[in-house]
């Protein structure tokens, strides 16, 4: 309900999170040189992460090579950390480019890393547009941060 009822303020959450230094509050789990990883505050499922460049760009074709490479590296890191932290059976990875494609922030591209489990789909999203998450965001954040710590020096 928080997401549905919030006012549309045209602020870019990715630019805001990139500039601030409140990673725990903002659910930022890793910062690279050109891109960063953050949890989705309104996830499809537990552990839903997003990888975004720091730079405000809305098209893949506008990414610099080093940004594109780091985004892919951070996706690989995200997969490894999520496997260690919460043990999903698989992942959906994708982008929505442009508002008509479903992008909530069409002017700042980002890649979704969505953990999946055997039998994780249920009738709730279909019948009542309700998502059932078995864990609160801060608990998942802590698990991800523990897995990050156990992973050793940054390997993204």
Q: What is the CATH number of the domain that holds 143?
A: 3.30.428.10
* pLDDT value, residue 1: 47
Q: What is the pLDDT along the chain (156 residues), one digit of tens a residue?
A: 454 454 555 689 999 999 999 999 999 999 999 999 999 998 889 999 999 999 999 999 999 999 999 999 999 999 999 999 999 999 999 998 888 888 888 899 999 999 999 877 654 454 444 455 678 888 999 999 999 999 876 655
How many Cβ atoms sit within 10 Å of the Cβ of residue 14?
A: 22
Note down the domain range covering 34: 10-147
Please indicate, yes or no, if residue 1 is contained in any of the structural domains. Answer: no
Q: 50 pairs with which residues across the strands?
A: 38, 112
Q: Rounded to an integer, what distance in angstroms lies between the CA atom of residue 8 and that of residue 47?
A: 25
Phi, psi of 125 (to 5 degrees): -65, -30
Please indicate, yes or no, if residue 134 is contained in any of the structural domains. Answer: yes
Please indicate, yes or no, if residue 65 is contained in any of the structural domains. Answer: yes
Tokens linked to 72:
């892919």
Please indicate, yes or no, if residue 138 is contained in any of the structural domains. Answer: yes
Please indicate, yes or no, if residue 156 is contained in any of the structural domains. Answer: no
Kindly list the catalytic residues: 110
The model's pTM: 0.82
Q: Rounded to an integer, what distance in angstroms lies between the CA atom of residue 61 and that of residue 23?
A: 28
Domain count, the chain: 1
Closest CA to 30 of 65, 82, 68, 86: 82
Please indicate, yes or no, if residue 153 is contained in any of the structural domains. Answer: no
Q: Rounded to an integer, what distance in angstroms lies between the CA atom of residue 79 and that of residue 90?
A: 9
Please indicate, yes or no, if residue 3 is contained in any of the structural domains. Answer: no
Please indicate, yes or no, if residue 4 is contained in any of the structural domains. Answer: no
Q: Rounded to an integer, what distance in angstroms lies between the CA atom of residue 114 and that of residue 97?
A: 17
């Amino acid at each position: 309900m928080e997401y549905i009822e919030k006012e549309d303020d045209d602020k870019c959450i990715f630019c805001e999170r990139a500039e601030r230094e409140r990673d725990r509050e903002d659910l930022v789990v890793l910062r690279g040189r050109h891109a960063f990883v953050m949890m989705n505050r309104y996830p499809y499922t537990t552990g839903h992460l997003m990888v975004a460049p720091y730079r405000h760009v809305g098209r893949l074709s506008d990414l610099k090579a080093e940004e594109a490479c780091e985004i892919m590296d951070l996706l690989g890191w995200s997969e490894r950390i999520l496997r260690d932290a919460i043990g999903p059976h698989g992942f959906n990875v994708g982008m929505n480019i442009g508002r008509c494609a479903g992008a909530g922030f069409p002017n700042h591209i980002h890649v979704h890393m969505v953990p999946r489990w055997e039998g994780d789909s249920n009738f709730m999203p279909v019948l009542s547009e309700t998502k059932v998450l078995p864990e609160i965001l801060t608990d998942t954040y802590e698990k991800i941060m523990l897995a990050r710590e156990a992973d050793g020096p940054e390997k993204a």
